[in-house]
Amino acid sequence: MKYREALRAALDEEMGRDERVFCLGEGIGERGGSYKVTEGLITKYGAGRVIDTPLSEAGFVGLGVGAAIAGRRPVVEILFVDFLLLAMDQVINQAAKYHFMSGGEGTVPMVIRTQGGTGNSLAGQHSQSLEALYYHVPGLKVVMPATPADAKGLLTAAIRDEDPVIFIEHKLLYMTDGEVPDGEYVIPLGRADIKRSGSDVTLVAWSHMVLKSLRAAEILAAEGISVEVIDLRTLVPMDVDSILDSVRKTGRLVIAQEAVKRGGVASDVAAIVAERAFDALRAPIIRVAGYNTTIPFNLALEKASVPQVDDIVAGVRTAVGATASARS
C-alpha cells in the first residue's frame, strides 16, 4: 500500500469509527487534495465531514481549534507546511496553550496534517522543513512518519489523541510502497522504531531522511560498518530512552535531518545525548543537516542544499573515524 493510501485508510477508518472526526482543507473534497490523500472520502462521508475551505489558513485552523474544544475531532489539512505559517497564532498561542491555560479542563483534540520537504524543485516557499518550529512549542505533539505502516498507525493515534498534533508528511513519500496492517492499527505516539539494528553507530532520523539513512547503512555495511537506524517517528513526545539505549550500545551518534542545521531538532537530540550519555560516547556527535539556506529552485542546487545519502555515509564514516566529512 502506498503512503498516501495508508493515510487515507487511517482517515477512513477513524471517520467510520467516530462520527466526531471530520476533515477540513483546501481542495480536499471532490478533488481529493493535492496529494490525493482524501480522494473518495467525500463520497463516503459527504460534504459535511469532508469540507472544502477557501484560502483562509488562519481562519480554518482556528476554526479547527474551536471545533475541537467544543467536542469534535477535526483533521485539518494544510497543503504545505510553509502555509501553516499563516496560522501560527492559532497553532502556537491558541491550540498549544489552551489545555494548560484552562487549568487542564479544556482539550484540543485536533490534528493538522501537512506536508514539507524538498525534492520537486518547488523553491523557497514550498520546500521547507519546519518541524523545529512546532517542536519548540510546549503543548504541541509533532509526528513525522517515514513508512506507509507508520503513517497509518500514527495518524490513527494522532486523531485519537487529546492534544493538538502537527502531523508532517513528506512530499517524496506519498508514492512510496510498503506493507500496512489491515483494519484497526494504532502506534502509540512517542515510540521510536529501530528500522535497522547495528552495533557501531547509532543513526537517528525521521521522515524522508529515514529512507536515505537506510540506504546509507546499506552502503556502510559493505564497508564493514554496522549502523543502527532509529526512526524517531514522533519528535514530540520523543522516545529518548530508545536513543540512549542505542548510544550506550554503539558509543557513537549521527543525526540526519533535512531541515537546516541551525536550531534544528538534531541539535536538541545531540544535546540530550550529551547531557545523559556523555560517558557512553566514544566520538563527537555528528549532525548531518541541511545548509542554513533558503531552498533553491534549481534542482542541482536544491539537492546540494540538503543531505543526500553520500553525506550521511560521510557523516557516519567520520563518526567511526574513517575519514573527514565535508558536511559535518
Partner 1 sequence: MTVTDALGLLAMYETAATIRRFEQRAIEQYRLGNIRGYLHPYLGEEAIAVGAIAALEPDDYIVSTHRGHGHAIAKGHDPRRMMAELFGKEDGYCRGRGGSMHVASRSIRNLGANGIVGGGLAIAAGAGMAIKQRGGTEVVVAFCSDGSTANGIWHEAMNLSAIWDLPVIFVLENNQYAVSTPIRDSARVDRLSDRAAAYGMPGVTVDGNDAVVVLEAMTEPLRKARAGEGPSLIECMTFRHGGHHVNDPGLYLPQDELRRWKERDPLIVLRARLTEAGVRDAAIAAVDERVEQVMDEAVDVANASPNPSVEAFLAEVSSQ
Ligand X SMILES: Cc1ncc(C[n+]2csc(CCOP(=O)(O)OP(=O)(O)O)c2C)c(N)n1
299 binds, among partner 1, ligand X, none (CB under 5 to 8 A by kind): partner 1
Smallest distance from the beta carbon of 36 to partner 1, in angstroms? 13
Smallest distance from the beta carbon of 114 to ligand X, in angstroms? 11
Rounded Cα distance between 81 and 295, Å, is 14
Rounded Cα distance between 148 and 138, Å, is 28
Rounded Cα distance between 178 and 183, Å, is 16
Residues that bind partner 1 (CB under 8 A): 26-27, 30-31, 52, 54-59, 82-83, 86, 120-126, 291-294, 296-301, 304-305
- Using the rule CB under 6 A, is 311 a contact of ligand X? no
Q: Catalytic site residue 99?
A: no
Rounded Cα distance between 43 and 207, Å, is 30
59 binds, among partner 1, ligand X, none (CB under 5 to 8 A by kind): partner 1
Selected binder of ligand X within 1, 12, 83, 291 (CB under 6 A): 83
Q: Catalytic site residue 126?
A: yes
Smallest distance from the beta carbon of 82 to partner 1, in angstroms? 7
Smallest distance from the beta carbon of 76 to ligand X, in angstroms? 13
Smallest distance from the beta carbon of 262 to partner 1, in angstroms? 8
Q: Which of 126, 131, 169, 170 is catalytic?
A: 126
123 binds, among partner 1, ligand X, none (CB under 5 to 8 A by kind): partner 1
The amino acid sitting at 5 is: E
Q: Which of 5, 14, 57, 169 is catalytic?
A: 57
102 binds, among partner 1, ligand X, none (CB under 5 to 8 A by kind): none
E strand or H helix at 111 = strand 111-116
124 binds, among ligand X, partner 1, none (CB under 5 to 8 A by kind): partner 1
Pick 84 or 256: Cβ nearer ligand X: 84
Residue with grid cell 523545529, as numbered in its chain: 132
CA neighbor of 273 nearest in space, from 299, 243, 250, 297: 243
The stretch near ligand X (CB under 6 A) out of 78-86, 107-115, 145-153, 264-272 is 78-86
Q: Which of residues 4-63 bind ligand X (CB under 6 A)?
A: 26, 55, 57
Task: Please name the residue ranges forming H helices in the chain.
Answer: 3-17, 41-45, 57-69, 88, 96-101, 131-135, 148-160, 208-222, 240-250, 265-277, 299-305, 309-319
Q: Is 107 left (phi over 0), alpha (psi -120 to 50) or beta?
A: beta
What are residue 77's DSSP bridge partners? 25, 113
CA neighbor of 211 nearest in space, from 147, 121, 289, 302: 147
Binding site for ligand X (CB under 6 A): 26, 55, 57, 79, 83, 86
Q: Point out the residues that are catalytic.
A: 57, 126
